[in-house]
Chains A and B, each alone.
Chain A
Amino acid sequence: MDVTLRVKRFNPEVDRRPHWETYTVAVDGSDRVLDVLHQVKWHQDGTLSFRRSCAHGVCGSDAMVINGKNRLACVLLVRDVGTEITVEPIRGLPVIKDLIVDMEPFFAGYRSVRPVLVTHDEPGARERIQSPEERARFDDTTKCILCAACTTSCPVFWANDAYVGPAAIVNAHRFIFDSRDDAATERLEILDRRTGVWGCRTAFNCTDACPRGIKVTQAIQEVKRASFAPDDG
């Protein structure tokens, strides 16, 4: 079947503002949107630029806005999206070229929550003990692949780039609720502000956008609650 692909394009070496280009591509229903983009890049227009690597939804390279929603191009199949496909760069981060945005502000947000296990005890020669229940407490947020689909779907992040964004809070959650970690209080202090967890207006866009199915909004609410009673962390 043929699909019509519309791509919002911008080449900083040529263009003053973005413009749309339309391509017709012969594909199978089981092809990924990433395959459609590759067909264009490899056989119609090699200048079309986008990031990708693993092509099955684990590396987080190819988040983009597909028919209005944040998706990974390699996880969305043509049969699920239809024959009219519109692709734009994710929003709220500066566009560099075509579907490629500057990821540095996103990773700065990630780094700001101190995303590393912090412990004050000496662990000894064997593993720390953690029960299956304690391990399950933060399982959901360990799935994050830092694709930025959540953060760049968030209207608060669009309006205020000082807001740390859902992905950073998800990664804080992953440690705050890890029974082995000793820095929950510090992370909650980092996030206890309008540009932190209180920036969230529970729009749920992040939860809808997450390609890993993380309950992002719920994780943010749990961090909010923990900041009232840090001892629960």
Chain B
Amino acid sequence: MGMMESTFTTPGTSAHLHPQEFLTFRLGAEEYGIDILKVQEIRGYDQVTRIANAPPFIKGVVNLRGVIVPIIDLRLKFNLGEAKYDAFTVVIVLNVLQRVVGVVVDSVSDVLELGPDEIRAAPEFSSLLDASYITGLGTIKPATEGGETRMLILVDIEKLMGSADMALVERAA
């Protein structure tokens, strides 16, 4: 990854002067990155107990070593094509909002370190996510000559999970 060459911070990022680590995952056609510190573990998808009358993207709850954890399928939430559940389905277990929550994504890639110079402000564009959840765009230089530069959409996953339409957190009725 690039070395830190400058110390100015770009708007749209949190004021980190040192590299931040992001877990990258794929959702639909795009790649996203979330703060690795919010990720508890990554596991497969199985034995989910359905919860009646929950929104369709909330698949239900699972037993994670004695703790009851809700599972949200982001593919369904954002209407991304077909959501298959098989041996390769991956669940990212997050630790956000003082809760443990699992999200289903298409696939998980590596953990990347991005310095401030590799993160740019996100322009206003309509995408899956409301711009307020996007903290920036990361650029990953290709590993090999002639490879493609990847673009990573950096997401404030805690804010996203706490939003009203995620129906995770009970609002005062």
Q: Do A and B come from one complex?
A: no
A residues at B contact (CB < 8 Å): none
